[in-house]
Amino acid sequence: MNIAIVGASGAVGQEFLRVLDEQNFPIDNLRLFGSKRSAGQTRAFRGKEYVIEELTRDSDFTGTDIAFTSAGAGTSKEFADVITRHGTLMIDNSSAFRMDDDVPLVVPEVNGEDALNRPRNIIGNPNCTTIQMVVALKPIENLSHIRRVRVATYQAASGAGAAAMDELRHQTAQLSRGEEPTVEKFKYQLAYNVIPHVDVFTENDYTKEEMKMFNETRKIMHSDIRVSATCVRVPVLRAHSEAIWVETETPLTTEEVRRAFGQAPGLVVMEENAEGEKYYPMPLFIADKDPVYVGRLRKDLCDDCGLSFWVVGDQIKKGAALNAVQIAQWLLANDPRLKN
Ligand code: NAP
């Protein structure tokens, strides 16, 4: 395959290079794109150095089979026609087209088939918090329809990009030296703090991140499910956590849900450590891992049809680069238009 990565210098772009290599993705030619800032820099892939090209309206994607784009919604909107006009499939990590009717929004474990219908040759990679949640919701939905979800997220600094991760490290070092911390990427100091504000506020007082969880979950799951989210930034470097409460149409036992979780693709149940003690997924130990991890499964004490559990996933991997690469792998296996 001839592959392009747009936003190659960023947190997600760098992860694309790692994931494509780890997944042994078949690549004949690779091109890297960025803005003026990183153009001319090089990045290594499979022992070879690649120069980042500046993305312009004159960039020529002829012959490129798939472009993985992670350069922000503005860049995706501005350059989608440049990228797709000669038949390149654009798998886009930004929020630019996710809710467009003619753009499928895909998590292969949940709705891989949706990727086959892509009239604009664009496939949306969902929001990271939504991806890890729907991987855990799908096996429950297979047992009984989920009516509603209440979720509180604990989102890592790196969800806001490479510079945000650097800011958290820098603030922690500054505070340990007794210095005033530099606050630029987040509205307030994140080190030793939590900020209940991810993305911008909307008219209904929810943030855009919270509304993405509502809207994207319905689109991916083809469901009338309602999701009420509170999204919180926490001083974790990498991997998002979520406390989730679901209400199903009929009551389910924890045993049957645990069994369904255990059989679900992309999901690992973590409830005990090697010594047989109670255990649970934590972002510190889940960072860099491929699957989504689920633990703390229990009945909701307030609701017979309710269940509560805890989900952790690496949002740069499964929440971004890995999910996009899995979409491409799914198409390679299932779409004659892309099969080698
Ligand atoms: P980031 O670390 O800030 O990187 C942004 C990338 O976009 C850089 O490579 C930058 O290149 C490139 N870029 C910016 N403007 C550009 C332009 N006009 N033309 C070409 N390239 C341009 O951000 P990130 O975290 O990787 O996020 C990238 C996208 O993925 C965003 O849409 C984000 O919402 C989405 N996403 C992020 C995560 C996450 O966990 N971080 C998860 C899911 C989705 P230069 O260095 O050359 O400016």
pLDDT per residue as tens digits for the range 266-275? 999 999 999 9
Kindly tell me if the per-residue pLDDT of 214 is higher than 90.
yes
Sign of CA dihedral 295, 297, 301, 306: positive
Helix (H, G, I), strand (E, B) or coil at 304: coil
Kindly tell me if the per-residue pLDDT of 328 is higher than 80.
yes
Kindly tell me if the per-residue pLDDT of 339 is higher than 80.
no
Contact 52/33 with Cβ under 8 angstroms? Answer: yes
Q: What is the rounded average pLDDT of the residues 111-123?
A: 98
pLDDT at residue 338 in the model: 84
Closest CA to ligand 1's atom 23: 161
DSSP annotation of 179:
P
Ligand 1 contact via 171 beta carbon (within 6 Å): no
Q: Is 222 a catalytic residue?
A: no
Kindly tell me if the per-residue pLDDT of 158 is higher than 90.
yes
In b/e form, how buried is each residue of 2-17, taking b as 16+ CB within 10 angstroms? bbbbbbbbbbbbbbbb
Best of 92, 93, 314 to mutate for ligand 1, by most ligand atoms within 8 A of CB?
93
Closest CA to ligand 1's atom 39: 159
Q: What is the rounded average pLDDT of the residues 238-251?
A: 98
Ligand 1 contact via 319 beta carbon (within 6 Å): yes
Tokens of 248: 């199903």
- pLDDT tens digits, residue range 96-107? 999 999 999 999
pLDDT at residue 88 in the model: 98
Neighbours of 278 (CB within 10 A): 9
- Phi and psi, residue 68, nearest 5°: -90, 115
pLDDT at residue 78 in the model: 98
Count CA atoms within 13 Å of residue 179 on its CB side: 9
DSSP annotation of 195:
B
Q: What is the rounded average pLDDT of the residues 122-126?
A: 98
Kindly tell me if the per-residue pLDDT of 89 is higher than 70.
yes
Cα-Cα-Cα-Cα torsion 274, 109, 153, 317, nearest 10 degrees, comes to: 80
Q: What is the rounded average pLDDT of the residues 283-304?
A: 97
Kindly tell me if the per-residue pLDDT of 171 is higher than 70.
yes
Q: CA 281, 132, 241: angle at the middle one, nearest 5?
A: 40
pTM for the model: 0.97
| Residues contacting residue 153 through CB under 8 Å, at least 6 positions apart | 129, 198, 209, 213, 229, 230, 231, 232, 240, 241, 242
Kindly tell me if the per-residue pLDDT of 340 is higher than 80.
no
Q: What is the rounded average pLDDT of the residues 1-7?
A: 98
